[in-house]
Structure 1
Amino acid sequence: MDGADGYRVRMPLAAGLLAAVRARTRRVTGRAVHRGWRWVRERGAVTCESPGPYRFGELGAGSTLAFPTGTIFNEGSIRIGPFCIIAEQVTLSAGFLPGLDLGPDPVITIGGGCVIGRGSHLVGHQSIVLGDDVWFGPNVYVSDQAHEYRDTTLPIGKQWPRNEPVEIGAGSWIGTGAVILPGARLGRNVVVAAGSVVRGEVPDFSVVAGAPAKVVRRFTEEEGWQPPFRNPAPTPLPDGVTAEQLRALVGWDLRPPGGAEA
């Protein structure tokens, strides 16, 4: 076949071949990009063995700051306990500006076993303390400083700020998008509902929700949980479960660094 008829046949074949080559190239390139980014994330993660450019006041064994990190400065005034997971784009800042000498005491203290969700901010100027096993959802904001606004002759941003220490008790869960304001003091095992704005004292074993947050459920030895739960408790693990069985069940390696059993 030649002439015009041959041309009309060859053109669709060539176009189809070109489209197939382009599709394969996109697939191969996509896989290469994802493999490369996975390599970058693994190498860029911050640990006590591989701290990168950071020199934290303390960075415990088994703790990891995922890459890419958020803004981190004056990390010498930040202490992070062991076995913490700090997700991508988490801001940890102490003081107003990088390069400040903030003295020997920590400004931000994160206890052991804490999980800080992606995009969260801990912005400390005096004292922010998280107890052990505090877990954050994504995009939680915690600060111990607020600006004054009572002087009507000055822009609010130029008025002298006020610092009030923040404490979040061990075992607490802070929901997605919550804001913990200066002066907040949360007890043990407190649940903060997503999107809540927390200020003041929050008692142990309570659930708070709203803006401003209010206690909506609380446990006491005398009355148990009030109001009572409407759904049954999860089925507990059976007695005698081994560490190997638990790892197989949850899909995690629960062994601490060094190979010791969980």
Structure 2
Amino acid sequence: MDDAAEQVSFGYEQVSREEKTRRVGEVFRSVAARYDLMNDLMSGGLHRLWKDQFVRRVKPRPGEAILDMAGGTGDIAFRMAARGAQVTVADINPAMLEVGVKRAAERKVEGLVWAEENAERLSFPDRMFDAYTIAFGIRNVTDIPAALREAHRVLKRGGRFFCLEFSTTEWPGFGKVYDAYSHHVVPRIGELVASDADSYRYLIESIRRFPDMETFRSMIAEAGFAQARVEPVLGGVVAIHSGWKI
């Protein structure tokens, strides 16, 4: 395979797969301590409501095993653990996991398992989990189809996959306003608040390069999931994707 075929997007740049993995790691090491603030800036604080809605769709039940991938800071895991689920929090970035462990201690959330994992090559055995969740993380994975196949592999039969991700709004006129805000305002606030405009700029660009809702729904189905569905939120600014392993 030639070098051109190996190129992947890092925001609006085309880079090698190895370069993307390295640079995404640098972004999240940079923003880990301010991750909640970053999400507040990018969503106007709405991410908290979106995560609540996401967990309601997952319907975690007492005692079931759930893998929360790219969940380092614990936002989704805390919500699911409160409903009695046994949650494994996995993230490729140790800095994000460190933030999550600290937050769990501060909130006195016990029983979570923390694991440094690459979504494309999970160390867990086949058919281990009842559910797999990933919130605002899939677009940063270098090989998304590989990550989806791994999600399918580690789920039990009857297991469910849920993904919360930024998408493309379908509301007429709103998309232009949101684009202007995200491209021009968010990096500027990132520079003022976190002295890091570049990381925030990448995160906005990564949203624009992510597949649209129907394309990503098809990718979930191609990974082997049945009943692949998408639920737009706020006209598609974000979307909840789901599928079942049968």
Q: TM-score, normalised by structure 1?
A: 0.20
Structure with the bigger RCO (C-alpha within 8 Å, sep 6+) is 2
Which has the larger helix fraction?
2
What TM-score does the superposition give when structure 2 sets the normalisation length? 0.21
